Amino acid sequence: MINQNRLWERLQLLSKIGTTAEGGITRLSFSEEERKAKNLVSAFMEEAGLSVREDEAGNLIGRKEGTNLDAPVVLMGSHVDSVFNGGNFDGPLGVLAAVEVLQTLNEQDIQTEHPIEAIAFTDEEGARFSFGMIGSRALAGTVTQEELKNKDSNGVTIAEAMAAQGLKPDEIGKAARKPKDIKAYIELHIEQGKILEQENLSVGIVTGMAGPLWLKFIVEGEAGHAGTTPMRIRRDSLTAAARIMVAIEEEAAKTGTTVGTVGQLKLFPGGINIIPGRVEFSLDLRDIDEHVRNQVEQYIRERAEEICENQNVILTIEELQRIAPVPCAQMIQDAAGEACRKSGVQAFSLSSGAGHDGMQFSDLCPIGMLFVRSKDGVSHDPAEWSSKEDCADGANVLCHTVLSLAVQKVDVPN
Ligand SMILES: [Zn+2]
């Protein structure tokens, strides 16, 4: 029912803002590029017949009123900021699909009981300040003045960058919404993975967002001469670390849902002819089920202790970050399943390994997400791509889901 040509054309127009020499897009938060992108989206929102405003965090909001003036709002959103040299679909698809849905409803004179808003959140990616999701945190009322002191690589704080864009960081608290004012939040996003491609499906219903647990492993043995130290008396921190990494892989793989990644590794002293005396490595462990993730963590810790004991080296594990996974509301997954049927799309469920703005709303309202197939699973790269037809399928499923959540007042032609 949505206009797929219009959605596609708008994606192309937005892709021209912040282009890089490498063929990608860089639109950092509170930059001129992000401002231009928001101005363009704001113009699309006006065309869609929405009432447009920006809140104190710089979130751009287009609203369609409901027939019941006291009913809580249904939110759709995503972001228009990007990583350095990113792609054209991560974020923009969700924002432009939300606008397209509301424009379609207005054109077809479809009324809903609940009001509906399309939101372009400020700074989802966190590429500039290594922080991220500033807009959605502000909407959830969780962002603090202390957090606005995070600096970019030029030493500019979030608060200063906001002020430079005419925003008032002291008043960011006013962007907060109350649970009673929001019925649900739903976001359409590219999958950033290969599951839908492998299943040969255009759209997926997200069951939950995995929460990352970040640990730092420090293994201390004894450095020594590679030529003069017999194998039997060595305290090699790297061979112990290697065994721990294998244990991580095995424990994560056992569950079928957990993913564990060692992405950073440092050896000391790091000489070709020296036994490593100290090794540091990271672990990123995720699952959408917190209990399963914590159980895997426990097994890894136990096996790591055992390995280090056997090899006579000392193990220290530091916790860097522990974020709880966020389940998607069953009510929204059910509505999305029905919306798939109405859109002629096969309903298929999958989890999200990546975090998104909706994670910030776990205490605010029921959240849901829809994924659109990503070519080769690529994202955060100029090669990021989803087809016009897949984007349209996603927007149609979003439309029917939102109509169900916002309680449609008339029959819709499918
Ligand atoms: Zn994104």
What are the tens digits of pLDDT across the range 104-141?
999 999 999 999 999 999 999 988 998 889 999 999 99
Q: Is residue 354 part of a domain?
A: yes
How far, in Å, is the centroid of ligand 1 from the Cα of 91?
A: 4
How far, in Å, is the centroid of ligand 1 from the Cα of 51?
A: 25
How far, in Å, is the centroid of ligand 1 from the Cα of 142?
A: 20
Q: Is residue 414 part of a domain?
A: no
Which among 271, 295, 322 is the end of a domain? 322
Q: Is residue 241 part of a domain?
A: yes
Residue 392: pLDDT over 80: yes
How far, in Å, is the centroid of ligand 1 from the Cα of 90?
A: 4
**Domain span holding position 70:** 4-209+325-405
Same domain, 41 and 160: yes
pLDDT band for 413, please (50, 70, 90 cuts).
low
Residue 31: pLDDT over 70: yes
Same domain, 343 and 222: no
Q: What is the pLDDT of residues 345-358, one digit of tens each?
A: 999 999 999 989 99
Q: How far apart are CA 282 and CA 401, in angstroms?
A: 40
Q: Is residue 340 part of a domain?
A: yes
How far, in Å, is the centroid of ligand 1 from the Cα of 369?
A: 12
Same domain, 339 and 390: yes
Average pLDDT over residues 210-215: 92
How far, in Å, is the centroid of ligand 1 from the Cα of 42?
A: 19
**Looking at the 3D structure of the chain, how many domains does it have?**
2
Question: What is the average pLDDT value for the chain, to the nearest integer?
Answer: 96
pLDDT of residue 249: 98
Average pLDDT over residues 69-92: 95
Residue 414: pLDDT over 70: no
How far, in Å, is the centroid of ligand 1 from the Cα of 57?
A: 18
pTM for the whole structure: 0.88
Q: 188: which residues sit within 8 A by CB, 6+ positions away?
A: 76, 78, 93, 94, 97, 98, 369, 370, 371, 372, 394, 395, 397, 398
Which among 322, 348, 368 is the end of a domain? 322
pLDDT of residue 411: 56
Same domain, 221 and 101: no
Same domain, 295 and 351: no
Closest to 71 in 3D by CA, of 409, 411, 410, 413: 409
The answer to whether residues 37 and 18 touch, using CB atoms and an 8 Å cutoff, is yes
How far, in Å, is the centroid of ligand 1 from the Cα of 384?
A: 12
How far, in Å, is the centroid of ligand 1 from the Cα of 262?
A: 23
Q: 155: which residues sit within 8 A by CB, 6+ positions away?
A: none
pLDDT of residue 131: 84
Omega before 179 cis (within 30°)?
no
How far, in Å, is the centroid of ligand 1 from the Cα of 93?
A: 9
Q: How far apart are CA 309 and CA 307, in angstroms?
A: 5
Q: Is residue 86 part of a domain?
A: yes
Same domain, 155 and 27: yes
Residue 228: CATH number of its domain: 3.30.70.360
The tokens describing 167, both together, are 């925003």
How far, in Å, is the centroid of ligand 1 from the Cα of 134?
A: 13
Q: Is residue 249 part of a domain?
A: yes
pLDDT of residue 391: 98
Residue 381: CATH number of its domain: 3.40.630.10
How far, in Å, is the centroid of ligand 1 from the Cα of 123?
A: 10
Q: How far apart are CA 171 and CA 55, in angstroms?
A: 10
